[in-house]
Structure 1
Amino acid sequence: MLVYILKRLLLMVPTLFGVLLLTFAVVQFVPGGPVEQMVSQLQGRDSGGERAASSGAGYRGRQGLDAKRIEEIKVLYGFDKPPVERFWLMMKSFARFDLGQSFYQRKDVWQLVLEKLPVSASLGLWTFFLSYLIAVPLGVSKAVRAGTRFDFVTTLIVLVGYAIPGFVLGVALLVVFGGQLQWFPLRGLTSANWEALSWPARIVDYLWHIVLPVTAMVFGSFAVTAMLTKNAFLEEIRKQYVLVARAKGLSERQVLWRHVMRNALIPIVTGFPAAFIGAFFTGSLLIETLFSLDGLGLLSYESVIRRDYPVVLGTLYLFTLIGLLTKLVGDLCYVWVDPRVRFD
């Protein structure tokens, strides 16, 4: 086991290096970078760099500024050094877990991630817990009642919910419950006077704001888990040990929850760590934009659009590292759930 863990940890190094190297190389050829955007702003053309981006790999702003000013802008953003040297300096900083500083917000990337994390964690954790609390019991019920009207109706509802994109459902919820009925607020996680409220009132206000975005995310997210649970239970119910347990006189409840449950939940439990960690760091851009929530999804999108390379590469490094470690924990859960598994 220790040898396997050590090998996996060592393999993370080239994997992480390859992801960062590929992304960094792509960044070098993307037009409309920070230098081009700054030149366009100084010339009064546009603030977003769209014209610079549409002009190809180079930019035409050089015509209106002298070479010395261009070099000062390059030094400001660190583009005065060759790409190989910049990549090496970036990797040295990442090795110290220094993710750098945003070009435009003048904040450390760590600080930006920590500022946006509560919003994404609120959406992710509520979605995660509600999805599992609904999906697992629903999957068990569908397996026990396979082929009945209940199984058919719930399968239809689950598949329809899975087919409807979350942002489409979010728009419908906003129009009906936020606009016409005005039962829920249209934006934000809390009210403007949240700080002045008592703690019970704060909790109620927070839950009142979180209902619509979480509903939009949960409605389709539990479909895969529910169907996976159902199929795993059906496969286990047909095995020989279940017939033996019933022949010994055990009740159906004892057979399901004491014997079948442990084996059927192996594929679900092993994916639990990745889903739980992902709930903290996975931001939904469309949901966050729709409900005016400033989370990690919106931060990543704005960083790509504005060519804020320290934020793009810093968050990529952090999330890739977390993903690799979570994958390792998920694989180790196989041994914890099923002692018959041996990595050798």
Structure 2
Amino acid sequence: MAAYILKRLLLMIPTLFGVLLLTFIVIQFVPGGPVEQMVATLQGQNSGGERAGGGGGLGGAGGYRGRQGIDEKQIAEIRKLYGFDKPPAERFVSMLGQFARFDLGQSFYQHKAVWQLVKEKMPVSISLGLWTFFISYGIAVPLGVAKAVRAGTRFDLATTLVVLVGYAIPGFVLGVALLVIFGGQLQWFPLRGLTSPDWAQMSLLGKVTDYLWHIVLPVTAMVFGSFAVTAMLTKNAFLEEIRKQYVLTARAKGLDERRVLWKHVFRNALIPIITGFPAAFIGAFFTGSLLIETLFSLDGLGLLSYESVIRRDYPVVLGTLYLFTLIGLVTKLVSDLSYVLVDPRVKFD
């Protein structure tokens, strides 16, 4: 086991290196980088100054600078400001050194450390992710067991239809419908944000109630289709275990059906479900749903990632990529090791 863990940990290094290298290379060929955006912004300001002072004739200072644009010295200073005065290889090695010290860098545009930005946006993503995780598993596992026990009945067919319809409807489409019906027409729930503007002045009970009131619609939009895979996986796992010889033997000995189901079948059937818990639980802390966050005006990690890509905020893009890739690799290792805890028969050697 120790050798397996050490091997997996060592394999994380080239994996991280490859992900960062590939992303860094792609970034070098993406047009409209931070230097180009800053130059365009300054040229727009100069052009605006030209129009504002346009009544003074062609010889005015504002008009001359607007037509002349940005000189090479200013462009060189901008490149130095963002670190693009160095060769790509040197910048990549410097970035790896920073990441090795868990220094994710500084945002180009928000003038904050990437760590600080992640901490600021994480509460929104945690709220969405954890509620989605617990509600999805809380619905999916009991539903899958019930479907397996009643396989082929009307209940099984009806719930399968509901699950598949929910899985087929995109979360953002359902979110729009929820906003229009329950937020707009009926006005039962708020349209945006996680809390009300006067949340700080509320009592503890009022804060909890206000928070739950705001979180209902976005969580419903995310949950409705997310439990479909887990429910069907649970059903199929139970059906496979119910048909095995040890279940027939237990029934032949006269054991109660409930005892057979929950004491013998339940543990073996939940092995593929339980081993996915670590990844799903840790992922709930860092899950960013861009469309849901945009739709309900929630400033979370999904919106941060999207805006950083659009604005070419490379420290945020690469810093969050490094952090989430590392967390994903560690979580995958924990998920694989959980097989041994759930089923001692599994041996990695």
Q: TM-score, normalised by structure 1?
A: 0.95
Matched, 1:33 2:33: yes
Letter in 1 for 2:286: F
Query: 2 CA distance for matches of 1:170 and 1:253?
Result: 39
Equivalent residue for 1:318?
323
Note the C-alpha offset of 1:285. 0.1
Matched with 1:58 is none
Matched with 1:270 is: 275
Shift of 1:45: 7.6
Q: Aligned pair 1:132/2:169, yes or no?
A: no
Deviations, residues 191-221 of structure 1 (Å, cap 9, x unaligned):
0000000000100000000000000000000
CA RMSD of aligned residues (A): 1.3
Distance 1:209 1:192 in 2: 12
Deviates more, 1:65-74 or 1:10-19: 65-74
Deviation at 1:283, TM superposition (A): 0.4
Distance 1:259 1:99 in 2: 48
Q: How far apart, in 2, do the equivalents of 1:171 and 1:164 lie? A: 11
For 1:85, the equivalent position in structure 2 comes to 90
Partner AA of 1:222 in structure 2 = F
Alignment of 1:1-344 (within 5 A): 1-44=1-44, 64-344=69-349
What is the rounded CA distance, in whole Å, between the counterparts of 2:343 and 2:249 in structure 1? 20
Q: Report the identity percentage.
A: 83
Give structure 1 regions of 4+ aligned residues with deviation exceeding 4 angstroms.
none
Separation in 2, partners of 1:14, 1:164: 38
Partner of 1:57: none
Counterpart secondary structure, 2:189: coil
Cα distance in 2 between the residues matched to 1:292 and 1:77: 30
One-letter identity of the residue aligned with 1:316: L
Q: Secondary structure at the match of 1:146?
A: coil
Give the aligned length. Answer: 330
Greater shift in the superposed pair: 248-257 or 206-215: 248-257
Q: TM-score, normalised by structure 2?
A: 0.93
Partner Cα distance (1:246, 1:201) in 2: 53
Q: Residue 66 of structure 1: CA displacement? A: 1.5
d(CA) in 1 for partners of 2:119 and 2:18?
26
Task: Report the 3-state secondary structure (helix = DSSP H, G, I; strand = E; otherwise coil) of the residue aligned with 1:173.
Answer: helix
Secondary structure class of the residue paired with 2:195: coil
Distance, in Å, in 1 between the alignment partners of 2:102 and 2:290 is 26
* Matches of 2:73 and 2:177, distance apart in 1: 54
Q: Distance in 1 between matches of 2:237 and 2:205?
A: 42
**For residue 348 of structure 2, what is the amino acid of its counterpart?**
F
1:250-272 deviation digits (Å, cap 9, x = unpaired): 11111111000111001101111
| SS of aligned partner of 2:106 | coil
SS in 2 for 1:7: helix
Look up the SS of the partner of 1:44 in the other structure: helix
* Deviation readout 1:51-75 (Å, 9 max, x if unpaired): xxxxxxxxxx9x7222111110000
Per the TM alignment, residue 247 of structure 1 is displaced from its structure 2 partner at its CA by 1.3
Higher Cα Rg, which structure:
2
Cα offsets for 1:141-174 (capped at 9, x unmatched)? 0000000000000000000000000000000000
1:77-112 per-residue CA deviation (whole Å, 9 max, x = no partner) reads: 000000000000000000000000000000000000
Q: Deviations over 1:7-39 (max 9, x none)?
A: 000000000000000000000000000000000
The one-letter code sitting in structure 1 at the alignment partner of 2:44 is: G
